[in-house]
Amino acid sequence: MKRLFHHWGVPVVLVWMLARCASIQMPTGGPKDKMPPQLVSSIPPSNQTGFRGVSVLLTFDELVKLNSPREEIIISPSPGKEIEFKVKNNRVFITPKEPWKGNTTYSILFRDGIQDVTESNSPVNLKLAFSTGDYIDSLSLSGNVTEILSGTPMEKVTVAIFSEDTFDIFSHTPIYFTKSSKEGNFRLDNIRGGRFHVYAFDDKNKNLKVESRNERFGFLKDPIDLNRNVDTLNLGLVQLDSRPLKFSSIRNTGTITRIRFPKGIQDYTITATPEPVSAYGDNTSEVNIWNPSGGDSIQVKFTATDSLNDKVDTSFYIKHLDARSLAERFQHSLGAPFINPENAKITSTFSFSKPIKDFVLDSLYIKVDTTSRIPISQVDLTYIPKSKQVMLSKDLDKKMFGPDVNPILVLMMKKGFALSIDGDTSKAISAPVTIFWPEENGVIMIQANTRVKNYILQLVEKSSMKVVAQAVNVPKLTAKNIEPADYFLRAIIDANGNGRWDPGNVHKLQEPERVIYYKAPDGSRAIPVRANWEIGPIEFSF
């Protein structure tokens, strides 16, 4: 019976009591620590001159830790790539591999690079400036960074300056740099006076160089003569592949010759007799030429242009070969047809995966309420060979959309409407036609006040950034029957007068064309539209 009451010599009652005690939860420890660590002292002290030390030492009033110091702690000018960041209890050491340069003012911005160990609070706006020379440089540059087409403030974008005349943002690293805040603001302090190039970029690979293939960037075409503080800089970023345009490959696969580029192109031209059928591939980085069957080889002169207006050209021969190639499916869509009942015009964009050899117009029509149909004629369609698209634009009878009429319309494409260059026939598809009734939508009226000669007014849907209405060099814009949503209003300063926004060319120091967004008196950009609303006229001055 003794073994029933004892376990390895410990009374069972005591084991039970210990288990009860072990289940008790630990106390929460009181309220959270919301106070950030405070800097007690630093070596060197802020604004010290003649610093000869090896390391910068910061002492805080509590235990601290490092948080991505190579990204968050910004030292300008950079003392080199190899910097040791070390923490010991409440002290932080910063030691560059190369000595601090003589007669140089250094500015250290700590951002979120140092935090307390309990709640990861960071010191607020902690900065340190010191000089290895006899004085502290005190000039500053500040401003903001936005994504130029959307006007969105850009956070954690590297803003940099470079002083030499032989300036190349793709190969040089900056002497001074900082990063933008959540609001897109930036500030560079403790700069020595001089002449500087200013630029900004989304440094994804953290090499302090612009990689235009996947990094947005912006720049000022004219350098700044910095002899006083400047606080009005505006930098707009664009996503623009600025690599030199070149051919990646030209390959004959039998029926098709494929021309590929390392990036998308803006346009191309082909000179040959007879001129072969051609079109873009799945995207604009590929052009396909269908080799004519039979006969001898044909010489082709090919020229391509990118968005920077850079050109490349070459000559080659094409010939139809009997080599077997994998047949590609013929795909197509009717887009999203819609009608504005005020002008009774139906529009849509059809897409095809191959060039079209012929159309059978009897196989395309608009079905009305399942009982009648409206034919579509040749004049209603525009074929765009390079993009393999068909634009539909047809005027209907306005009586179909009276106050007491609510037709149900369906765009019908019967089998065999389109015959591809490879002999494929399109399948039967249909798409409902959306009717934008005035009582279900809204109206915005805009009045521009400007002395700018060439400009483009655009109304943009906020979530998709799709342009829903625009006017070129006309001060009045009325957007009718627009869907309930939030909209932006912007003006493109069309400097070259070509009727479109141009992204500029960094190689020729041509900045992107300016984009100005309308702001209401309360500072908001969004213009809300609700069903059956009429807004305006909105006064837009630029």
Q: Which of 262, 350, 266 is nearest to 305 (CA)?
A: 266
Structure tokens at 55: 């390391």
Q: In this predicted model, what pLDDT tens digit does every residue of 223-263 receive, in sequence order?
A: 999 999 999 999 999 999 999 999 999 999 888 999 999 99
Looking at the structure, tell me whether residues 530 and 446 fall in a common domain: yes
How far apart, in Å, do the first and last CA atoms of the chain sit?
98
- Tell me whether residue 380 is in a domain: yes
Single residue among 237, 270, 286 that ends a domain in this structure = 237
Q: Give the strand order in the sheet containing 256-260.
A: 249-252, 256-260, 286-290, 277-280
- Tell me whether residue 232 is in a domain: yes
Work out the average pLDDT over 106-121: 94
How many angstroms separate the CA atoms of 355 and 389, rounded? 9
Looking at the structure, tell me whether residues 226 and 290 fall in a common domain: no
Q: Which of 225, 236, 237, 235 is nearest to 143 (CA)?
A: 235
Looking at the structure, tell me whether residues 46 and 94 fall in a common domain: yes
How many angstroms separate the CA atoms of 304 and 106, rounded? 48
Looking at the structure, tell me whether residues 167 and 113 fall in a common domain: no
Given this model, what pLDDT does residue 30 score? 56
How many domains in the chain? Answer: 5
Work out the average pLDDT over 508-517: 94
- Tell me whether residue 21 is in a domain: no
3-state secondary structure 233-258: EEEEEECCCCCCCCCCEEEECCCEEE
Looking at the structure, tell me whether residues 393 and 463 fall in a common domain: no
- Tell me whether residue 69 is in a domain: yes
CB atoms within 10 A of CB 443: 16
Q: Which of 99, 118, 112 is nearest to 28 (CA)?
A: 118
* pLDDT level of residue 326 (50, 70, 90 thresholds): low
Sign of CA dihedral 60, 62, 65, 71: negative
The Cα-based distances of 354 to 222, 388, 425 in angstroms read 46, 6, 11
pTM: predicted TM-score of the whole model, two decimal places: 0.79
Q: In this predicted model, what pLDDT tens digit does every residue of 122-161 receive, in sequence order?
A: 998 899 999 999 999 999 999 999 999 999 999 999 999 9
- Tell me whether residue 496 is in a domain: yes
Which DSSP state fits 388?
T
Q: What's the CATH number where 358 sits?
A: 2.60.40
Looking at the structure, tell me whether residues 267 and 286 fall in a common domain: yes
Single residue among 104, 131, 158 that ends a domain in this structure = 131
Given this model, what pLDDT does residue 15 score? 35
Arithmetic mean of pLDDT over the chain: 90
Given this model, what pLDDT does residue 31 score? 64
CB atoms within 10 A of CB 63: 14
- Tell me whether residue 258 is in a domain: yes
- Tell me whether residue 373 is in a domain: yes
Strand partners, 383: 390
Domain range enclosing 536? 439-541
Looking at the structure, tell me whether residues 520 and 532 fall in a common domain: yes
- Tell me whether residue 417 is in a domain: yes
Given this model, what pLDDT does residue 340 score? 86
Q: Which residues contact 524 (CB under 8 A, 6 or more apart)?
A: none
User: What is the DSSP track for 106-172?
Assistant: EEEE-TTSEEETTT----TT-EEEEESSSS---EEEEEEEEETTTTEE-SS-EEEEE--SS--TTT-
Strand partners, 143: 186, 233
Looking at the structure, tell me whether residues 385 and 300 fall in a common domain: no
Given this model, what pLDDT does residue 129 score? 96
Given this model, what pLDDT does residue 313 score? 97
Looking at the structure, tell me whether residues 143 and 231 fall in a common domain: yes
Single residue among 402, 435, 468 that ends a domain in this structure = 435
How many angstroms separate the CA atoms of 135 and 141, rounded? 19
Q: With a cut of 70, say whether residue 12 has pLDDT above it.
A: no
Which DSSP state fits 425?
B
CB 68 within 8 A of CB 90: no
Looking at the structure, tell me whether residues 56 and 109 fall in a common domain: yes
Given this model, what pLDDT does residue 236 score? 96
Q: In this predicted model, what pLDDT tens digit does every residue of 373-404 receive, in sequence order?
A: 999 999 999 999 999 999 999 999 998 987 78
* pLDDT level of residue 454 (50, 70, 90 thresholds): very high
